[in-house]
Amino acid sequence: MPPTTTATGRTHAGGIQPSASFFRPSRPNQENQYLPQRNVFPLENIPKRDSDSSEHNGSKVFNLRRGMSVDNGEDSITQEFDDDDPTSSKLHEEEAIDIGRYKPSSPSTSQNHNELSISRARRRDRRRSSFTDGSSSFVPAGSPFMTSLANTLKINPKTNKPYRNHELHPSRNRFFCHGRLLTGGDSPWAFIFCFGIVLAICGLWFGTTCPWYWSNLGGGKAIVIIGAYLAAVVITSMLTTATMDPGILPRDLDPDPPYPTTSPSDGGVRAPMPRDLKVRSDVVRVKYCPTCKTYRPPRSSHCKMCDNCIDGCDHHCQWVNNCIGKRNYTTFFFLLLAGTMSLILIITTSALHIFLLTDREGMDFRQAIGRSDGAGSAAAFVMSVLVFWPVAALFSYHIRLVLLNITTIEQIRNQAHKTLVPGPAPPNPFSHGTWRRNMMAVLCRPTGYSWLDPSGIATEDKREVNPGLSGGGVPGRR
């Protein structure tokens, strides 16, 4: 008799050990696991045919190509669509008419019949594709994916079109362009203000300072080109960080977590048991999220602003109105890098522009800023100086985090640990040993696939439980 395990056994707190692929996103598997069989004909009822008849062999092959059964090629057609669908019944009627009209009468006409069969099959595919909706690029018309019980489409009863994953995901995120773009659940005004400041500084600098450098300074064209490149990196990185899936984790992966057998001593509510995972030579404890109903992977956290568990969550940034997680941290870091370099370039060139106006053209400072280009350079200089200090401070802070391979949340927890427990903070199990390896691991890692796949077509599994697993046995067997 095998030994029995209790709730306090070695698999819980002291820890469940899931496989490494549990925390590694992969491309969604759309392969059919189970296909219902329709109009299955018994092989014993097929009459014997003369194998030397070329007419029968040719018609049988093309009847199978058209979806017809072998034993009755002229009258029966395998149903590829729902019987209640008027469009499919119409197609079946048209195919039956075509079969009766173009039946080959002799072996000499079999080649013409074959060409007609191929052309009719192509017309049938075009007609069927015309009855599909805009999701045909995701689910090809007539594909087995549409009839698989393991991947049944979820249809919206109001629009009669398939749901997309973002329409069924309960969170505070806002999705756009059929789920390809998203924003966080916070107020968007901070992001709008920040993006407006970026556009204002770039507009002033390109409208006033850059034309003077382009026409009056020898290396001015190179300065303008470098500034244009940095501005493009800042704008694209900011938009990408703000509209990208940061690593939203799927929900309902563990709807029935294990609970301890005894109630807490303080009379509180029982909490699901944690899991202990081994990371290199250390052990990391992960907790259960009651909102998402799943065990969070290491370095993940639940964002209250977006109401999601984020993989590799660093923090929620209100200035981009999105969480900074594993999938968009690299673009966020390069946003700070390009922003800092752009501000340094704008501050330097704007101040130098005003100095050259006073030096070359014999103006004083008041006359220099009284000109339109001088006033624009002065405004860009003042705005850049005001924005530079918080951006540079945040960039230097994240440089330290990258070199140590820790997140903002982990840094805050380490500071809290130092105030509560004397002594050094616990070692970081995710560090690669050197700052070079840590920087390569954080900044050069691939983005990876989205766990949520917001723009994908939503499916559900309608397969019933195997009766053999419920103790009822398999029908028809002893």
> Angle 189-204/220-243 helices, nearest 10 degrees?
170
For residue 354, pLDDT beyond 70: yes
Whether residue 292 lies in the annotated active site:
no
Q: For residue 85, is pLDDT > 50?
A: no
The DSSP code sequence of 222-242 is: HHHHHHHHHHHHHHHHHHHHH
Between strands 315-317 and 322-324, the pairing is: antiparallel
> b/e for 37-55, b at 16 or more Cβ within 10 A?
eeeeeeeeeeeeeeeeeeb
**pLDDT tens by residue, 158-191:** 888 888 988 888 889 999 998 899 999 888 999 9
Q: Which one from 313, 317, 323, 444 is the annotated catalytic residue? A: 317
Lowest mean pLDDT among 78-87, 264-273, 380-389: 78-87
CA distances from 115 to 107, 109, 119, 464 (A): 14, 10, 6, 43
> Using one digit for the tens of pLDDT, what is the confidence trace for 365-385?
888 888 888 888 999 999 999
Give the model confidence (pLDDT) of 423-454 as tens digits: 777 888 899 989 999 999 999 999 888 888 88
**Mean pLDDT within 209-220:** 87
Residues 62-67: contacts with CB under 8 Å, at least 24 apart:
62/113, 62/114, 62/117, 65/117, 65/121, 66/95, 66/99, 66/117, 66/120, 66/121, 66/124
How far apart, in Å, are the Cα atoms of 210 and each of 202, 205, 216, 349, 457? Answer: 10, 6, 10, 9, 48
Give rounded-to-5 percent helix, strand, coil for the chain: 45, 10, 45
- For the chain, the structural domain boundaries read 55-131, 186-249+316-443
- Provide the token pair at 436: 């070079």
Q: What is the pLDDT at residue 122?
A: 64
Judge contact between 455 and 166, C-beta under 8 A. yes
Q: What pLDDT was estimated at residue 405?
A: 93
Confidence at residue 144, expressed as pLDDT on a 0 to 100 scale? 41
| Phi and psi torsions of 275, nearest 5° | -120, 140
Per-residue model confidence (pLDDT) at position 467? 66
Q: Per the confidence metrics, is the pTM higher than 0.85?
A: no
| Tens digits of residue pLDDT in 19-49 | 555 555 555 554 554 444 455 444 445 555 5
Please tell me the least confidently modeled range out of 115-129, 209-223, 289-303, 358-372: 115-129
Q: Is 161 exposed, middle or buried (0-12, 13-18, 19+ CB in 10 A)?
A: middle
Residue 105 pLDDT level (bands cut at 50, 70, 90): very low
Please report the DSSP string for 377-445 in residue order.
Answer: HHHHHHHHHHHHHHHHHHHHHHHHHHHHT--HHHHHHHHHHHHHSSSPPPP-TT--SSHHHHHHHHHSS
The pLDDT mean for the chain works out to: 76
pLDDT attached to residue 47: 53
Q: Could you report the per-residue pLDDT of 114-161, keeping only the tens digit for each?
A: 566 666 666 665 555 444 444 434 444 444 444 577 778 888 888 888
Helix axes 372-404, 189-204, angle to 10 degrees: 130
Supply the pLDDT for residue 79. Answer: 40
Three-state SS at 275: strand
96 or 119, greater pLDDT: 119
Stronger pLDDT, 464 or 411, i.e. the higher one: 411
pLDDT at 225: 94
